[in-house]
A and B are shown apart, each in its own frame.
Chain A
Amino acid sequence: MFSRKIAVLSTKFENLDGLPTARKYLGRKVFSTSGLFVGKVNDLVFKHNALAGVIVSGRYRIFVDKEYFSSDTDDAIMLSIDPILFIIGKQVFDVEGRKLGKVVGLEKGTADNSFGSLLVRKNIISKVKKIPRSHISICKENIILSKAYP
């Protein structure tokens, strides 16, 4: 209400109406495409003077590229993906209802939102099993494998 008027010194802009500032992004909630609360915007990342993405702090501290933004309002940022990091910790069941363990890691070659295999372990002393992505039938609250898994 009592904010000082901003004087504009620019060859491109006459005023700042409708132009978001960094402060509006900070603290904004970020939700995944399925409505999972990813975290809050903690920092902004720029490349060539343009916004490249945001750093989100929540259960994990993640850099999310702007390409994954589905919508961007004053209230929240909606992503077009479910960050695969949130798969870690999920339980894995096969189609027979057998509990294979928990996801302890992901095998991925690139930084994008995809993975090749799940690393699953039943308990602290058991060996880590590698389960290819193609064997996953359902990946929501937990993971249920398809009939293809031996």
Chain B
Amino acid sequence: MKEAIITADDIVGKEAVDPHGAVLGVVVKLHIDTRSKQITGITVDLGFLKPDLFVGIDYIHHFGVDAVLLNKVPAERFRNMRVIAVDGTEIGHVKDVVLEDSVITQLTVIPLHKKAFSKVLYHIPVSEIKEIGASVILRKEMTP
């Protein structure tokens, strides 16, 4: 039972790792509800010039020895990811992720050859996405 009890020092300063193994950043804060005395989540420092990310307790899989393991890939991870069609044609980069009830429904993509001052954006529904790995790969060939 002694091993099941950890302190804030055991959590703050550790890396936050998503289910794909990606290291998101370092845990900088622990949030506690003063009424229920329960941990409500953690704040992760994503790096220089990036805003901090709050991760709710429901998305934490495990407080590990050297890292905090999450059970969900945060939408933040997909921003600025390269988007390519199934045949390798580069479409652009992810600008934003549209969520509904914490589920990704759509990606907003900046076209690869976007002209200055142009507001053209692609809105790609999740049904057209084949895989999200190192890049976002679409199901179909797409003519930009």
Q: Which residues of A contact B (CB under 8 A)?
A: 29, 31-37, 71, 73, 75-78, 82, 90-91, 93, 95-99, 138-144
A144 to B15, CA, bound (A): 14
Residues of A close to B114: CB separation below 8 A: none
Inter-chain contact A76/B69, CB cutoff 8 Å: no
Inter-chain contact B88/A96, CB cutoff 8 Å: no
Inter-chain contact B82/A37, CB cutoff 8 Å: yes
A82 to B135, CA, bound (A): 12
Residues of B close to A82: CB separation below 8 A: 133
Q: In B68-123, which residues have CB < 8 Å from any A CB?
A: 68-69, 82, 84, 86-90
Inter-chain contact B64/A75, CB cutoff 8 Å: no
Give the number of residue pairs across the A-B interface with Cβ within 8 Å.
102
Residues of B close to A73: CB separation below 8 A: 87-89
Inter-chain contact A93/B21, CB cutoff 8 Å: yes
Q: In B10-32, which residues have CB < 8 Å from any A CB?
A: 14-15, 17-23
Question: Is B128 an interface residue when CB atoms closer than 8 A count as contact?
Answer: no
Least CB separation from A36: chain B residue: B134
A98 to B68, CA, bound (A): 9
Residues of A close to B87: CB separation below 8 A: 71, 73, 75-76, 78
Residues of A close to B136: CB separation below 8 A: 35
Q: Which residues of B contact A (CB under 8 A)?
A: 14-15, 17-23, 62-69, 82, 84, 86-90, 131-137
Least CB separation from B133: chain A residue: A34
Inter-chain contact B21/A35, CB cutoff 8 Å: no
Inter-chain contact B21/A143, CB cutoff 8 Å: yes
Inter-chain contact B66/A36, CB cutoff 8 Å: no
Inter-chain contact A141/B89, CB cutoff 8 Å: no
Q: How far is the CB of A148 from chain B (nearest CB, A)?
A: 17
Least CB separation from B22: chain A residue: A141
Q: How far is the CB of B26 from chain A (nearest CB, A)?
A: 13
Inter-chain contact A35/B134, CB cutoff 8 Å: yes
Residues of A close to B89: CB separation below 8 A: 73, 75-76
Inter-chain contact B134/A34, CB cutoff 8 Å: yes
Inter-chain contact B133/A142, CB cutoff 8 Å: no
Least CB separation from B66: chain A residue: A99
A37 to B93, CA, bound (A): 14
Choose from B68, B88, B90, B133 the contact partner of A77 (Cβ within 8 Å).
Answer: B88
Q: How far is the CB of A126 from chain B (nearest CB, A)?
A: 14
Q: How far is the CB of B59 from chain A (nearest CB, A)?
A: 15
21 CB < 8 A contacts A-B: A29-B90, A35-B134, A35-B136, A35-B137, A36-B133, A36-B135, A37-B134, A71-B87, A71-B88, A76-B87, A91-B23, A93-B21, A93-B69, A97-B14, A97-B62, A97-B64, A97-B68, A98-B64, A141-B22, A142-B22, A142-B23
